[in-house]
Amino acid sequence: MTTAFETTAARYQKKVYSFARSLLSSSEEAEDVTQEVLLRLWRHQRRLDEERLGSWVLRVTRNACYDLLRKRRAAPALTKAESLDGEDAREIPTAEPDPESRVQASDFRRRLTDALAGLGEPYKSVVLLREVQGLSHREIGEILDIPEVTVRVHLHRGRKKLREQLREVYTP
Amino acid sequence: MTRFEELRCEEVLDVLEPWLDGDLPPDEEARVRVHLDSCPSCTAELALARAIQSELRSLPLPDCPPEVLERVRRARGGEVIPFGQPERRTSRPFRAALAAAMLAAAVGASVFFLPPFRNEEPDSEEVARAAEEARYALAYIGQVSRRAGLTLRDHLEAEPVRP
């Protein structure tokens, strides 16, 4: 029988895992972080406001990832095997573009994910939370514990950095 | 007829994504549009910003392997509490009484099981064994402290989300 906790855990585990995997560039470590976050969710479930659970879960995820990154002493760039355009990217339904367009598109995506991986904090987290996880500025501010206006500034700088790195490879 | 003060390219480049998001006030949005209509360079930059945004938003979120939830279940010893339902906890007086009983039992056991007091120097083997036990105890204390630290941080993290 599925309990209410399991339903809640199932609702957040994909968000937690994908965010952790993007920050850590490691599926194994992302699994460990997800497990740890879900266990903390278990321990603290009585004290948490269910409406803002999503922010809490991602804040704990971010902190757990930062702990791991600090242990590594340096956050390396996404490896090709672990980058966001890895095996999962092939599952996106497309309108069957011609081979040349397909090569260009995949190259653009690869360069984009490489640029995102090397973006550095806090820009990387802000861009991931906004563009990939689809969160509002307010939610991102809660997760990263920064004012909403700072979120907008970080987002602007992060996006600008991505544009600077992709300008050469982009063909309209 | 109202004439807009023309924006410079660097001003437009600063607001491309907010413009795409529809976050700009109507008058500023109109000024950006006027500039874009006559500036191929900024229009190209807008196309790039749009492509990046579109690509990022279409990135798939990788699925979390189902084993993770299973590991969570196992880590909790198979016991699952429905969300929002308070955990069962022993009362404070009961825990205090239990601790006192355990302490008394430990003292009593030491009287019966510890070797009689010897008024002589320990040999090197005994010293080595004692040192090993001390290292183990210190490592254990360190582990417990680390867990306590994490728990404390969890509590602090949980505080801001209270209404």
Rounded Cα–Cα distance for residues B133 and B129 (Å): 6
Rounded Cα–Cα distance for residues B158 and A57 (Å): 10
The beta-carbon neighbor of A5 closest among B63, B83, B157 is B83
Distances (CA, A) of A17 to A71, A85, A139: 19, 16, 18
Rounded Cα–Cα distance for residues A29 and A38 (Å): 14
Q: What is the separation of C-alpha B59 from the centre of its chain, rounded to a whole number of angstroms?
A: 24
Contact A112 B67 (CB under 8 A): no
What is the DSSP secondary-structure string of B41-87?
Answer: HHHHHHHHHHHHHHHHHTPPPPPPPTHHHHHHHHHTTT--PPTTPPP
Q: What is the DSSP letter of A130?
A: I
> Which pLDDT tens digits describe chain B residue by residue (163 residues)?
445 568 899 999 988 888 888 888 999 999 999 999 999 999 999 999 999 999 999 888 888 888 888 888 777 665 544 444 444 444 555 566 667 777 777 777 666 666 655 566 778 888 887 877 777 677 666 666 666 666 666 666 665 544 4
Please identify which residue in the block is written with the tokens 């056991």: B109
Q: For the CA atoms of chain B, what is the radius of gyration?
A: 34
- Does the CB of B20 have a partner CB in chain A at under 8 Å? no
Q: Per residue in B39-51, is it b (16+ CB within 10 Å) or e — as a string? A: beebeebbebbeb
CB pairs under 8 A between A and B: 149
Contact B68 A38 (CB under 8 A): yes
Rounded Cα–Cα distance for residues A46 and B86 (Å): 6
- Does the CB of B44 have a partner CB in chain A at under 8 Å? yes
Residues 6+ apart with CB under 8 A from B6: B31, B34, B35
pLDDT score recorded for residue B87: 43
Token reading at B150: 């994490």
Q: What is the separation of C-alpha A131 from the centre of its chain, rounded to a whole number of angstroms?
A: 9
Q: Predicted ipTM? A: 0.73
Rounded Cα–Cα distance for residues B74 and B68 (Å): 10
